[in-house]
Amino acid sequence: MNLHIVILAAGQGTRMRSTLPKVLHPVAGKPMLGHVLDCARAMQPQQIHVVIGHGAERVREQLAAADINWVVQAEQLGTGHAVAQALPQLDGAEQVLVLYGDVPLLQADTLRQLSQQAGDTALGLLTVQMHDPSGYGRIVRDAAGRVQAIVEQKDASAEQRLIREGNTGIMALPGSQISNWLTSLSSDNAQGEYYLTDVVALAVEQGVPVEVAHASTEEEVLGANNRQQLATLERSYQRLQAEKLMTAGVTLVDPARLDVRGEISVGQDISIDINVVLEGRVVLADGVIIEPNCVLKDCVIGRGTVIKAFSHIDGAELASDCVVGPYARLRPGTRLASQAKIGNFVETKKVDIGPGAKINHLSYVGDASVGAEANVGAGTITCNYDGVNKYKTHIGANAFIGSNTALVAPVSVGDNATTAAGSVINQDVPDAALGVARARQRNINGWKR
């Protein structure tokens, strides 16, 4: 079936009270429209059309992709008018799915159900039973239960407002009918707009079947018109992610105090404590332990590794049985071999750290390599930047770097070599040698302050 998807994303979102277009407000670190596009792509349509208006260039710039056809709605005259802007690009479509850019929790399985039920001849509606349908259009049925129309809240009678079956706005339109229906819409209503929902009455009048699919939960089809609703969507999304992780074998000390803002791959018997944020692409192998208040972004954590409290790991790869933190910062390009240890108040960047190597305290190691079983003492700094260029430091296997050593790159400390505490090392230290570079101490007797 030749499937096209139209996503409506032109609304201003005045109740957000923001200069940011509504569909760009994030849920789990990604614009709401980005979530909707992910769902649309899972349907593998022939074409995705996104109707934009308010902040059009900003929306297009942030979510630019080759598979999107951008359609501009210069005047916002209703949902029917918005879909009509895409009509010139819908030639040949056998089915058109209409989605909304501020409904980020919609699942592809629900959309498939709607598409399959409607096929290419029927009008398909996605509805949901709501505890409080205020603000939503109501599904009006006849005595036999057949859908007759959708009545918007502002146009509904007192009796119709008691109906709890709400219209989500998401629908499947037969390609053979869409042009005729959209050009037949009227703006004679309380809002003075062209409602897409009026196609239901047209379908009934013309004898076109109306099929109904049901969203699995109310939260799946919730939109966000203000900051309160945005926060509700965020918590709903996070609850769903927490449930997925626990089902996969992850222990969450408090599911309500985990934030997932990306794609997470997990093994079994992982433990995650409170106030942990997982961003981007994060891979956690079996037996990983993450203590409270950690941020992990775009990283791979190996089997049995422990991330202690208040650590920040960004763009790093950690092998098995490592220990990081507390209060450690691993920046992009950091790679730890098995059983390496990064201690408290240590920062690393673009560094390869060998098996069993230790950087335990108060150090900065960047643009460097550290050999197996090396011990880098407290206060060690790799001086990698001269104000113009970056240079590399090499620390050999089983080397011992004394506390408060400054390694002025480019420089190499050999295997089994040692640097004396407080040294400024700006020349290579050979294998098994001691490097000492500090002023001789003088004691002045009888000194008075």
Is 26 within the bounds of a domain?
A: yes
Q: What is the CATH number of the domain that holds 92?
A: 3.90.550.10
Mean pLDDT of the region 274-295: 99
How far is it, in rounded angstroms, from Cα 99 to Cα 215?
13
312 & 409 share domain: yes
Mean pLDDT of the region 44-71: 96
357 & 217 share domain: no
4's tokens: 């096209």
Task: Note the pLDDT tens digit of each residue in 62-119.
Answer: 999 999 999 999 998 999 999 999 999 999 999 999 999 999 999 999 999 999 999 9
Give the chain's radius of gyration (CA, Å): 30
353 & 272 share domain: yes
Q: Is the peptide bond before 410 cis (omega within 30 degrees of 0)?
A: yes
Position 351 pLDDT exceeds 90: yes
- Structurally, the chain folds into a number of domains equal to 2
Is 445 within the bounds of a domain?
A: no
167 & 291 share domain: no
Is 449 within the bounds of a domain?
A: no
Q: Catalytic site residue 361?
A: yes
Task: Note the pLDDT tens digit of each residue in 195-236.
Answer: 998 999 999 999 999 999 999 899 999 999 999 999 999 999
Residue 136's pLDDT band, with cuts at 50, 70 and 90, is: confident
170 & 305 share domain: no
pLDDT of amino acid 360: 98
Q: Which of 35, 214, 361, 394 is catalytic?
A: 361
Q: What is the DSSP string of 201-229?
A: HHHHHHT--EEEEE-SSSGGG---SSHHH
pTM for the full predicted model: 0.90
Q: Is the sign of the CA dihedral 327, 328, 332, 338 positive or negative? A: negative
- The residue range of the domain holding 335 is 237-435
Alpha-helical regions (H) of 87-214:
108-118, 178-183, 199-206
Mean pLDDT of the region 45-54: 97
Check if the beta carbon of residue 297 is closer than 8 Å to that of residue 284. no
* Per-chain mean pLDDT for the chain: 96
Is 227 within the bounds of a domain?
A: no
407's tokens: 């390694």
294 & 202 share domain: no
How far is it, in rounded angstroms, from Cα 7 to Cα 102?
10
265 & 176 share domain: no
Is 25 within the bounds of a domain?
A: yes
Counting residues of the chain whose pLDDT is more than 90, the rounded percentage is: 92
Strands (E), 393-433: 393-395, 400-401, 406-408, 411-413, 418-419, 424-425
Q: What is the DSSP string of 346-376?
A: -EEEEEEE-TT-EEEES-EEEEEEE-TT-EE
Is 283 within the bounds of a domain?
A: yes
- Which of 221, 249, 269 lies at the terminal end of a domain, its last residue? 221
How far is it, in rounded angstroms, from Cα 187 to Cα 185?
7
Is 314 within the bounds of a domain?
A: yes
Q: Is the peptide bond before 174 cis (omega within 30 degrees of 0)?
A: no
Position 190 pLDDT exceeds 90: no
319's tokens: 């092998």
Mean pLDDT of the region 149-162: 89
**DSSP code at position 440:** P
Q: How buried is residue 386: exposed, middle or buried, by Cβ count under 10 Å (0-12/13-18/19+)?
A: exposed
Task: Note the pLDDT tens digit of each residue in 360-372.
Answer: 999 999 999 999 9
155 & 295 share domain: no
191 & 253 share domain: no
255 & 120 share domain: no
Helix (H) or strand (E) holding 124: strand 123-129
pLDDT of amino acid 172: 98
Least confident of 143-147, 205-209, 427-431: 143-147
Task: Note the pLDDT tens digit of each residue in 400-422.
Answer: 999 999 999 999 999 999 999 99
Q: Which residues contact 320 (CB under 8 A, 6 or more apart)?
A: 285, 302, 303, 304, 305, 338, 339
- Which of 195, 221, 247 lies at the terminal end of a domain, its last residue? 221
Position 176 pLDDT exceeds 90: yes
Closest alpha carbon to 95 in 3, 202, 212, 200: 3
pLDDT of amino acid 153: 86
Between strands 306-307 and 276-284, the pairing is: unpaired
203 & 244 share domain: no
How far is it, in rounded angstroms, from Cα 428 to Cα 93?
70
Closest alpha carbon to 40 in 129, 100, 127, 128: 100
Is 357 within the bounds of a domain?
A: yes
Q: What is the CATH number of the domain that holds 306?
A: 2.160.10.10
323 & 423 share domain: yes
- Which of 173, 195, 221 lies at the terminal end of a domain, its last residue? 221
Closest alpha carbon to 192 in 324, 91, 78: 78
